[in-house]
Structure 1
């Protein structure tokens, strides 16, 4: 009876959410179904104008990544807060290494920062948070990861679009297929760009004819800077700052959709974390962001906070990048 109820429940869920039925069916088919799916993908790509040679090269070693499916479906079983997340994302050794890497690449970073209007410390901070300064970019074959996620079915349209962009990258010769490595979801290289972001923002900064976000430091830094510039980055302001709220603060005002001049936040009782007045700049509008609750960390988010949210729509991610950039600016 329990099994009957379970099957009936699943049937109702599947009727309400069609992708669940597809995902369950594909999971049961396993690798045998994946092989047939790959052939289907190749025929679709061929019909869309991709060269047969490109497809043979790209899919020659394609494989089903059960790890990608598990990573996509599994959710954390414990609740993080910003106070527990930040020490993990930015341990002391990473803050020190960020300063070292900034100094090591200072000339290149300052040149790129000047050209794109992005403070170099933010380029280094993104590099550090995303891939530990290029040392952990993910070792999974990007074509396999994207094809697996499309086959899994939950977000097939999204991952097929990314797969098509990845095939374009292969066809344009930016990276040999055996070096096209990334995360379980297909995020690539030291910048961890999805293929669509690569197509929109990657830069051939060193002028060798390839946009190499895997191995060219100039391409990596310039691509990150180009992304930020393209989504509205300002190099005359920082990302935000931690602040104190008055006891009576209306938390309905805490939203990136609510923007006020700093003078208005000052009038509403918002203060620097040390209790001092907010900066006296009429050209800056900001939002109040409360990632956890009023007892946790609270930020006044400037324009660049929004830009970082375009990179990764997570307040924790933005706080980690911002915090690391501050540690580069003010090393201890």
Structure 2
């Protein structure tokens, strides 16, 4: 941890960033030199770091943990309320021609593109207003995860170097997630696409690029168009707990023989596919059969709560 961090934490989260300390200024000078050595142009470095400043709120967010314990029973109604379902259905219908075209190109059902869009940023309304270069430099300087955030910072500089947007418009979450589907800079470089062919990958204001990039991410990580993500199920009390977890995969017929049923008590689908049985909370919590697409969504975000929220919203769109 850097020497002046204790002073930063005394004042709470301020509405404006703290003035950079000499230590931070010295650290930034080193970042600039490393960027130039890595091949980033002097013009991009100068523009990107022109208004660099220490962002105390980014440090506070990175260090703070939730003060209460969520369960899926409390989280899902908050993450997928009826108003969001209604809005998702309306936007799905509004953009269906574009979504259908992109879905066919990448082999991804359009309802999952809309669900990711809705869970990540409330359909583009909550993309974050932190200056990304300053936030990433601050988190690298703070030191707890320096290698990670420094790598994301240099990837962010590559995005600016490629001319996808200006430094002034380069804003996102406190941790560096960007645009309407909240890609980290490394994910942007790997998965973002110029879907409409205008020469820019605009994940902030261009829905073709937003939808295409989300679909490309899923496609590149093994999405299966012929399967859904999973389903909530009932599990008999007698089931061996050792069968729980993503490490165990069984055909649906095997889970059926073990007494696992759909949530309404009906038999599992008679299809030739494997699934894992997961229970993200305790023995009294919800149980799900997780399919291959569950694993792809987990690559996007490892939280089972996030995956279940996306899958639940996608299911509600298609009802």
Q: TM-score, normalised by structure 2?
A: 0.94
Counterpart of 2:31 in structure 1 is: 41
**Equivalent of residue 318 in structure 2, options 322, 325, 329:** 329
Counterpart of 1:27 in structure 2 is: 5
Counterpart of 1:248 in structure 2 is: 238
CA shift, 1:294, in A, is 2.7
Counterpart of 1:163 in structure 2 is: 153
CA shift, 1:139, in A, is 0.6
Separation in 2, partners of 1:78, 1:126: 25
CA shift, 1:145, in A, is 1.0
Q: Conserved in 2, the CA contact under 8 Å of 1:26 and 1:153?
A: no
Counterpart of 1:51 in structure 2 is: 41
User: Which has the larger helix fraction?
Assistant: 1
Q: TM-score, normalised by structure 1?
A: 0.91
- Structure 1 residues 29 and 56, CA gap change in structure 2 (3 angstroms): farther
Equivalenced residues, count: 307
SS, match of residue 92 in structure 2: helix
Counterpart of 2:135 in structure 1 is: 145
- Structure 1 residues 88 and 247, CA gap change in structure 2 (3 angstroms): same
Q: Conserved in 2, the CA contact under 8 Å of 1:26 and 1:152?
A: no
User: 1:267-278 to 2 correspondence within 5 Å?
Assistant: 267-278=257-268
Residue 212 in structure 1 maps to residue 208 in structure 2 = no
Deviations 1:94-126 (A, max 9, x none): 111000110111100010001100000000000
Give the RMSD, CA atoms, in angstroms: 1.0
User: 1:116-195 to 2 correspondence within 5 Å?
Assistant: 116-195=106-185
Separation in 1, partners of 2:78, 2:256: 32
Separation in 2, partners of 1:294, 1:224: 34
Which region of structure 1 is more displaced relative to structure 2, 28-37 or 230-239?
28-37
Which region of structure 1 is more displaced relative to structure 2, 197-206 or 273-282?
273-282
Unaligned runs of 5+ in 2: 9-19
Unaligned runs of 5+ in 1: 1-21
Separation in 1, partners of 2:83, 2:47: 41
User: 1:72-87 to 2 correspondence within 5 Å?
Assistant: 72-87=62-77
